[in-house]
Amino acid sequence: MRWFIYTLFLILALLLIMAIGWTVADAALAGPSTEVVLHDILAAHGSPLADVAYRPVAYWRAHPGSFDLVGWLSVVAAETSLGKDSWSARTRNVGCIRGGAVGRPWRDLRVGVTSGGFNVYGNWADGVRASILLLVLSPRGYMGYLMRDDFRGFTRAYWGGDYFAYPAKREAYIRSLERFHAVFAREGRVRGLAW
């Protein structure tokens, strides 16, 4: 009888060790979380947005197939150098967002307006949220262009009338979007993401 109990105990211990090993192996195969990778990318670029990296990732997870995380990051980089320029540091406006109708979240989140009509947000989290919601919910369909990597179409929709007024700036902006998209996609893949 004693032999049976020892054998049973040994089998249970081996099964427990194997289960723990499989769990650890699964975690190692899964790679780093998207939040950690986005935080690391933003921190590597010296962005103050690193501390709110969970916001765009949470939106991306909650709305699969309707939000391009790399596209959003590319727009924020092209518009405000990832929140590093002095203007966005004062306004917390990472998408260079102006106004908006009452009831639109990118307008209702604001705490003020600059003399040029740009929204001012109270913190980075609200500025990030406003930029995401503008790109996703705008009737101009901004996110659809980004999801197709159509940076020219995005710029035409996002810039409105300014698209034709400033051709040299427009072309430089489109090249910036393309470059940032390639850089961030590569940096994510290097860190283990397949976005």
Q: What is the pLDDT tens value at each position of the chain, 195 positions in all? A: 677 777 766 676 666 677 676 554 454 556 789 999 999 999 999 999 999 999 999 999 999 999 999 999 999 999 999 999 999 999 999 999 999 999 999 999 999 999 999 999 999 999 999 999 999 999 999 999 999 999 999 999 999 988 999 999 999 999 999 999 999 999 999 999 987
Please tell me the predicted confidence (pLDDT) of residue 194.
81
Please tell me the predicted confidence (pLDDT) of residue 25.
47
Please tell me the predicted confidence (pLDDT) of residue 21.
62
Please tell me the predicted confidence (pLDDT) of residue 8.
65
Cβ-Cβ contacts under 8 Å for 38 (sequence gap 6 or more): 53, 56, 57, 69, 73, 188
